[in-house]
Amino acid sequence: MNRKPLLKISVATSAEAEEAIGGALEKIFFQPPSVYADERTKVSTVSVYCNDRAAWTPARRRALLAELKRLKAAGLKLGRGKISATRLARQNWAESWKRHFKPIAVGNALLLKPSWSRRPPRRGQAVVVLDPGLSFGTGQHATTAFCLAQLVRGRKPRQRQSFLDIGTGSGILAIAAAKLGYAPVSAFDYDPESVRTAKANARQNRVAKLLHLGREDLKELPVRSREKFDFICANLISNLLLAERRRIVNRLKPGGVLILAGILKREFAGVQEAYEEAGLQLAAARSEKEWRSGAFAHRTPIQRQGEYEVGAHGRT
C-alpha cells in the first residue's frame, strides 16, 4: 500500500467562481477538483490532490496565478483568491472516491467507468476505464463531457476519420476516439507529466498502439501543416485558442469538425468571432455553469442543413 502523503492544492474563492477555479486547477494539475463550501463564511475552497510535492512546481504556481488573473480580468468575482498547499495522509482516499464516482454513459456508443465498477457495457458500447482521484480525466467536467458527446455524434460508421487532440491532459479524448474507431489518432500536450499520464492510460485501455502521443508546444508548431484531420478537439484556455487560431484551423480538413472547449461563457463570443473570421461556422454549442463549448465547421459545404447533426445541444 502506498503510504506517502498527498499534496493538497487549494484556492479559497467565492461560490460564483468555484466552477471556473475548479476548471483551472484541473487543466494545470490533471486532477478532478473537489469543493468545500463553508455556509458560515460563504467561502468555497476548491482543491486538487497530487501524489507528491514535486507536483507543486514554480511553473504550475505561475500558471495558476495567471489563470486567477485572467478570471478576474474577465469579471469573475474571486473573493479571497488565496492559494495554499498542504500535505495530507492518504487514509482510505481511494475508498472515498468509490462512494461518489459513478460510470458515465455517452449515448449508446461510449461508457466511461472506474476500474472497480462492474457495470457491463451495452451491446456495441465502447468502454474507457479511468480512475478518478489521483488520475485526471473522468469525463465529469462540462467541457470534457461536451467533447465526448461530439466525438460520439460525429463518428460515421465504416468511414475512416482522423482525430487530433490538442492539449490532451489525461488522454481521455484520444483514448475515446480510438475506442470509437477514429483512425489515425494523434494527441499532444506541452506538459511532460500529462504525456506520461496519457500514455499510461492508453496502455491501461489497450489502445497504446492506436495512438500517437507526444510532447509538443502548440505555439512552436508550423503555422501550416501538411497533415490534416477530420476531427480536432482543442480543450484550451481562450487566450491560447485566440493566439493560435491559425495553427489550429490550418490542421482541419475541408469538411472537418473542430471542437473548442474550456471557454468561460463571457469569453465565448470573442472566440466564436475569431474562428468565424477564419472561415468556420458554429454548428453546435452548450453552456453549463461558467463554461461554454462549441463545435465549428467550414462554411462550405458544411453549412448546408443536415451536414453536421448537432443533436440535443441545439443549433446556435
pLDDT for residue 100: 55
pLDDT for residue 52: 67
Strands 6-13, 82-88: parallel, antiparallel or unpaired by DSSP? antiparallel
Contact 195, 214 (CB under 8 A): yes
Contact 200, 168 (CB under 8 A): no
Beta bridge partners of 35: 46
pLDDT for residue 135: 39
pLDDT for residue 98: 60
Please name the residue ranges forming H helices in 205-307: 238-243, 245-249, 265-277
Rounded CA separation 253/227 (Å): 9
pLDDT for residue 300: 58
Dump strand ranges (E) for 169-247.
Answer: 185-189, 211-215, 229-235
Q: List the 110-113 sheet strands across, edge first.
A: 104-106, 110-113, 126-129
Determine which helix (DSSP H) or strand (DSSP E) holds 86, and give its type and residue range.
strand 82-88
Rounded CA separation 316/313 (Å): 9
Decide: residue 316, CB within 10 A, 0-12 exposed, 13-18 middle, 19+ buried.
middle
pLDDT for residue 18: 82
Q: Coil, strand, or helix at residue 131?
A: coil
Domains detected in the chain: 6-91 (3.30.70.120), 143-313 (3.40.50.150)
What is the greatest pairwise CA distance in the chain? Answer: 58
* pLDDT tens, the chain, 316 aa long: 455 677 889 999 988 888 788 888 887 887 767 777 776 788 888 888 877 667 788 888 999 999 899 888 888 888 888 899 888 766 545 555 565 567 888 888 999 888 778 888 888 899 998 875 443 445 556 678 889 999 999 999 889 999 999 998 889 999 999 999 999 999 999 888 778 888 988 999 999 999 999 999 999 999 999 999 999 999 888 889 999 999 999 999 999 999 999 888 889 999 999 999 999 999 999 988 778 999 999 875 444 333 443 333 333 3
pLDDT for residue 164: 98
CA end-to-end distance (rounded Å), the chain: 51
pTM equals 0.72
pLDDT for residue 307: 41
Angle (nearest 5°) at CA 117 between 111 and 121: 35
Going by C-alpha positions, the residue among 96, 54, 270 that lies closest to residue 282 is 270
pLDDT for residue 133: 47
Rounded CA separation 277/271 (Å): 10
pLDDT for residue 4: 67
| Cell numbers placing 126 | 465502447
Going by C-alpha positions, the residue among 88, 78, 23 that lies closest to residue 52 is 88
**Can the peptide bond before residue 301 be classed as cis, meaning omega within 30 degrees of 0?**
yes
| Cell numbers placing 286 | 452548450
Phi, psi of 126 (to 5 degrees): -75, 150
Strands 163-166, 229-235: parallel, antiparallel or unpaired by DSSP? parallel
pLDDT for residue 97: 55
